[in-house]
Amino acid sequence: MTAQTAAAPVKEPEKPAAEERRWWRVEPSEGLWRNLALVAVLAILIIAGIITKPELYSDGTWVRNNIFTILELASVIGVVTVGMTFVIIGGGIDLSVGAIIALAGVWSTTLATQDYGAGGMIFCALAVGIGVGVVNGILISYGRLVAFIATLAMLVAARGLAAQISNKQTQVSTSQFINDIAANDFLGVPVLVYILAAVVAAGWVLLNRTTFGRRTVAVGGNPEAARLAGINVKRHTLLLYALSGLCCGIAAVMLTSQATSAQAAMANLYELDAIAAAIIGGTLLSGGRGTIIGSLLGVLVFSTITNLFAINNLSTEVQNMVKGGIIVLAVLIQQIQFKSLSQFFAKNSKLTTS
Amino acid sequence: MKHAPDLSRRRMLLGGAALGAGALLTACTSNEPDEPSGGGAQTAAAGNNQNAAPGQKVTIGFSAPAADHGWIAAITSNAKAQAGAYSDVEFKTVEAGADAAAQRAALQTLIAQKPNIIVLLPHDGKELNAFGLEAMKAGIPVVNLDRAFPDALAYRLQIKGDNYGMGVSAANYIVAQMKAKGVSNPVIGEIAGIDSLELTQDRSKGFADTLAQAGFKVANRRAAEFTADTGQREAASLLQALPKMDALWNHDDDQGIGVLAAITQANRSEFLMVGGAGSKAAIEAIQADNSVLKATVTYSPSMASSAISLARLIAQNKGMSDLVELQVPKEIILASETITKENASNYLKLGF
């Protein structure tokens, strides 16, 4: 008000033209571009499904069931990928996630644990997951082992322990509550999807709205600078691996529920799927950058591909080749500097209007 | 401002919780059932066979891959139990390790112990063929179990199941059921095991060939990995791809646990399901008739027991009592038998 009424020896600089404030002129963050690209890939896959199988997609109930099937397929890997994203952003890597799931699953379905009922089984799975994660963290942060080697060793050891405990048999879960987690819907949406949504939401809040998340990005971007800034890098790394272990424990309960059983060979090669999903979701393998939404979209892309191939009766060999191709393509595309692309377009339009 | 007192209490609580959780967890690793289950090993009834009378003492060396699947675990336990049933057999096993190379190394130590005969389930028949030739040349007969050596000189006896025959049996059952129900163009699904194994290809081929003879074909085929979680994953995808199905063949009953879970989760029951391999849980489910599982085709790990019995006969220079010939045959292919509700009670003791 006062700026307008005061006699102005100083002329108010011309307010920039109103159109420059429009959102499409504002620099979008790189993360947003990346996520939009992934949504576009998802849309392409769904359209491919519609084109190849119009008779299936014409049925509304089938489409609804298919969406939930894709989400249920993505739920276990999604939970693991949330934990993996945190670890990778923090500059580490966790190759043992599949083995932790197997160990947690097997431990929680032994006859002794099943006597404690569903609560005991869930507690056991979470405790084993966190415990193994803490061991990983201690080896890596305080033992100063390279993350790759430490988690590789844990991968082998945990599977061995799982085989020992289960005596290489498949352990069937007799807990109706646990088995129902994968079988039941709540208000029409499968319970597994709710769990996935809850973990993703919690992960997003943790990464973007808490100091823990800020510190994770700092530690991953430049650990020495983070240490000098006062962050206890060692303790933070330990917590990251414990978080990954916790996610594996949750995933173990979900997978045991889906298969109504657990065995030492379960969750085979999940670590590769989780890492691939995190990478195509925009997480930098060297640390310091990544988003939870991107990782979730990465997981959904892989699940949608699996679903597309299944309904078209294509073999797994072709599917694996396509998955490999998508990973390479995603990383290549992300290397294009989106900033310079949008600057290029903006520059061109300025030339034409002036 | 002193923070030390707060931290020490927090540390104590955290430490206490960790110790408590650890103590609880170590208590929860036991797999002993509360009531002892009747012994599960499948052994030959000793006693009504003249050949079973104790004779010359023999040492049998045994090697099978480290079990990551119930079937392989049953092979090893059956072999052990059968050897234990004979008083004149000394049983030596070596851990075969994770792959063919490790098994080769383990087998070298076995040869050094100079057994009378070796019973071997190789990781891969082609990769351990050379070992078979070497042992036979050194004068130690080799009984080749399940995964076949390509070279006839590499084994004295080859005893295996019939993977192609499994597919044939499963398809015959399905064709008979479809004809009985009057379904002219049935939608048939198939959930295979690990696709890279030759045995999976053989089974699928037997299935497809026999269906083709009846004019049917497989509408959708998914490959799982012989584990329950992959079985559930692939079955969920298959059920989405085929909104209405008439029959389903699942190659393996262990992965069948996951397949049945997926079927329950999708709430589907309009089709019939045939299993494979013949696990105890599957045979009981067929008897109870409370799910879509109506039959299974055997590929029984009892072949390990038979291999040990025949190895003993070979080492003692005896033949099989039902045959006229004086020596044990060169090759035995076990038939794949179809278990349905009617004959399930006969097979219960053979379930693994």
3-class DSSP state for residue A276? helix
Q: What is the arithmetic mean of pLDDT over A287-297?
A: 93
3-class DSSP state for residue A323? helix
Residue B38 has pLDDT above 50, yes or no: no
Question: pLDDT at position A28, please?
Answer: 58
Q: How far is A285 from chain B (nearest CA, A)?
A: 28
DSSP letter for each residue of A165-198? HHTT--EE---HHHHHHHH-EETTEEHHHHHHHH
Categorize the per-residue pLDDT at B113 as very low, low, confident or very high, splitting at 50, 70 and 90.
confident
Q: How far is B232 from chain A (nearest CA, A)?
A: 6
Q: Is A269 exposed, middle or buried (0-12, 13-18, 19+ CB in 10 A)?
A: exposed
pLDDT tens per residue, range A149-165: 999 999 999 999 999 99
Bridge partners (DSSP) listed for residue A185: A190
B231 part of contact set with chain A, CB < 8 Å: yes
Q: For chain A, what are the domain ranges?
A: 34-46+56-331
Q: ipTM surpassing 0.90, yes or no?
A: no
Residue window 194-213, chain B: list those with CB within 8 Å of chain A. 195
Residue B133 has pLDDT above 70, yes or no: yes
Q: Please tell me the least confidently modeled range out of A237-246, B62-71, B251-260.
A: B62-71
Q: Count of H helices and E strands in chain A?
A: 17, 4
Cα–Cα dist A110/A104, whole Å:
10
DSSP letter assigned to residue A309: H
Question: pLDDT at position A340, please?
Answer: 57
Helix axes A270-280, A316-335, angle to 10 degrees: 40
DSSP letter for each residue of B44-113? ---SSSGGGS--S-EEEEEEEPPPSSHHHHHHHHHHHHHHHH-TTEEEEEEE--SSHHHHHHHHHHHHHT
3-class DSSP state for residue B295? strand
CB A229 within 8 A of CB B192: no
B262 CB neighbours in chain A (<8 A) are 258
pLDDT tens per residue, range A67-126: 999 999 999 999 999 999 999 999 999 999 999 999 999 999 999 999 999 999 999 999
pTM for this structure?
A: 0.85
| CATH H superfamily, domain A34-46+56-331 | ABC transporter involved in vitamin B12 uptake, BtuC (1.10.3470.10)
Q: Look-up: residue for tokens 């044990």?
A: B328
Question: pLDDT at position A346, please?
Answer: 66
Residue A271 has pLDDT above 90, yes or no: yes
Closest CA to A269 of A135, A108, A96: A96
DSSP letter assigned to residue A23: T
Question: pLDDT at position B4, please?
Answer: 54
Cα–Cα dist A155/A139, whole Å:
13
Instruction: Indicate the helix (H) or strand (E) that contains B277.
Output: strand B272-277
Residue among A62, A128, A312 minimizing CB distance to B243:
A62
Mean pLDDT of all residues belonging to chain A: 88
Measured CA to CA in angstroms, residue B187 lies from A281, B108, B178, B211 at distances of 38, 51, 10, 12
- Amino acid identity at B2: K
B261 part of contact set with chain A, CB < 8 Å: yes
Using CA coordinates, name the residue in chain A closest to B32: A111
Residue A11 has pLDDT above 60, yes or no: no
Q: How many CA atoms lie within 13 A of A323 on its CB side?
A: 25
Q: Which two tokens stand for residue B328?
A: 């044990």
Domains and CATH numbers, chain B: 55-161+301-318 (3.40.50.2300), 163-298 (3.40.50.2300)
Question: pLDDT at position B26, please?
Answer: 82
Residue A352 has pLDDT above 60, yes or no: no
A167 CB neighbours in chain B (<8 A) are 31, 73
B230 part of contact set with chain A, CB < 8 Å: yes
Contact between chains at B227 and A167 (C-beta distance less than 8 A): no
Residue among B25, B68, B258 minimizing CB distance to A259:
B258
pLDDT tens per residue, range A18-43: 545 555 555 556 778 888 888 998 99
B29 CB neighbours in chain A (<8 A) are 107, 110, 112, 165
Contact between chains at A110 and B233 (C-beta distance less than 8 A): no
